[in-house]
Amino acid sequence: MTERQPLGGIASQLDSGQVYGPFRDSVGYVMVQLAAKRNAPDRKDTAIAGRFERGRSEVLRMKQQRVLTLFLSQSARARGFDVFVDRLKALSVTTTPMLAYRLLGFGGRMFEVPFVEPQLEWLETDPPGQTILP
């Protein structure tokens, strides 16, 4: 869609079988009929603002992951650590969402977190010189 402008933008707005044109192109006059769409995204996803927001949230997620990795690396170096790879491989993790409650001693309850997400990037990351705050 973005490689063949203005045809990609015009085709993204059309439904299958619709005709657009004629309009003037660098070659001459062109009339377009959309035969079919393949992997057509929602119309709202083609907007520049939507692409910008998705890109922005992805960059923010990557920055947060990097700070977490640096913090874990720095904490591990300061406290010392041992990694038992055989135990990590034996850990079974389910991708099925679960919900559980932990009962507290004074009659309350809170959510338990049944997910274990592997965070192993910090093993190969050199800790920074300055203190990373979580």
pLDDT, tens digit, 9 for 90 and up, residues 36-67: 877 645 555 567 888 888 889 999 999 998 88
Confidence of residue 27 (pLDDT cuts 50, 70, 90): low
Instruction: Tell me the CA end-to-end span of the chain in Å, nearest whole number.
Output: 41
* Residue 107 domain flag: yes
Q: Mean pLDDT, to the nearest integer, of 100-106? A: 76
Indicate whether 83 belongs to any domain.
yes
Q: Is 1 part of any domain?
A: no
Task: Confirm whether 79 is domain-assigned.
Answer: yes
Residue 130 inside a domain? The answer is no
Token look-up 């203190």 returns 131
The verdict on residue 131 lying in a domain is no
| Per-residue confidence (pLDDT) for residue 23, from 0 to 100 | 76
* 60 and 114 assigned to the same domain: yes
Q: What average pLDDT does the chain have? A: 76
Query: Backbone phi, then psi, for 114, in 5-degree steps?
Result: -85, 0
**What does the pLDDT read at residue 96?**
65
Task: Give the strand pairing for 29-33 and 100-103.
Answer: unpaired
Same-domain pairing of 113 and 67 = yes
Number of folded domains in the chain? 2
Residues 81 and 108 both lie in one domain: yes
Q: Are 19 and 31 in contact (CB under 8 A)?
A: yes
What pLDDT sits at residue 76?
83
Which one, of 29, 26, 28, 35, lies nearest residue 5 by Cα?
A: 26
Listed range (3-17, 44-58, 59-73, 88-102) with the worst mean pLDDT: 88-102
- C-beta neighbour count of 72 within 10 angstroms: 20
Mean pLDDT over residues 10-27, rounded? Answer: 79
| Residue span of the structural domain in which 68 resides | 47-124
**Residues 59-87: pLDDT tens digits?**
999 999 888 888 888 888 888 877 787 88
